[in-house]
Amino acid sequence: MPSTSETIDLAVIAERQATGIVWQPWVWRIVACRASRAADAVGAGAEGGRTLIGLGPLTLHRSEAENYLFNLSGGSAPAVYAVLTKPAVAEERPTLFALTCDPYEAQSFALANDLIVEAVAMPTEVEAWVKGFVGAHYKVEPFVKRKRKSHKSGAEGGDGA
């Protein structure tokens, strides 16, 4: 029997961008995610304004396969959603909280005030992995029309009153 979940490790790279606003001079934007083995190219420090925010697991669950399919075949490009914690001090960088490919799970994370949710383009190798997972686990639910019940109840033949 196939496994009910699969995991891959990803590195999340962010960039600090100026906003021009006095009370919030900059924001952190996720610019890329890569397989964790490719994180060595970025390094742990800042390089060209880009910083490795963190390494984290991206786990796919069989019960969410339909949501992953929606992400892959929706109107926009497939995305990985990085969930970050807001830094306590403006000078600090955010930390990686979670990674997901489920747009509905990302939406639920976005409801929390202390989290930042950023969508980033899904790397091609991750997209191929997600497509393989969806192909193995997604099953179309057949539509079954339910039968209507008679308005007469029992042997009385009346309206049941």
Taking residues 151-161, report their average pLDDT.
59
Taking residues 75-91, report their average pLDDT.
86
Q: Tell me, what's the pLDDT at 111?
A: 93
Task: Quote the Cα angle for 49-121-77, to 5°.
Answer: 150
Q: Can you give the residue ranges of every domain in the chain?
A: 5-137
What are the tens digits of pLDDT across the range 90-129? 678 889 999 999 999 999 999 988 898 999 999 999 999 9
Tell whether the model's pLDDT for residue 41 goes beyond 70. Answer: no
Cβ atoms of 12 and 56 closer than 8 Å: yes
Q: Tell me, what's the pLDDT at 113?
A: 83
Q: How far apart, in whole angstroms, are the C-alpha atoms of residue 73 and residue 52?
A: 29
The residue behind tokens 């490009």 is: 77
Q: Tell me, what's the pLDDT at 17?
A: 85
Taking residues 16-44, report their average pLDDT.
76
Backbone CA torsion sign across 41, 126, 3, 97: positive
The structure tokens listed for 106 are 């990302």
Q: Tell me, what's the pLDDT at 155?
A: 58
Q: Tell me, what's the pLDDT at 89?
A: 75
Taking residues 64-73, report their average pLDDT.
93
**80 or 148, which is more confident?**
80
Q: How far apart, in whole angstroms, are the C-alpha atoms of residue 154 and residue 135?
A: 48
Taking residues 69-83, report their average pLDDT.
90
Q: Tell me, what's the pLDDT at 125?
A: 93
Q: How far apart, in whole angstroms, are the C-alpha atoms of residue 4 and residue 134?
A: 11
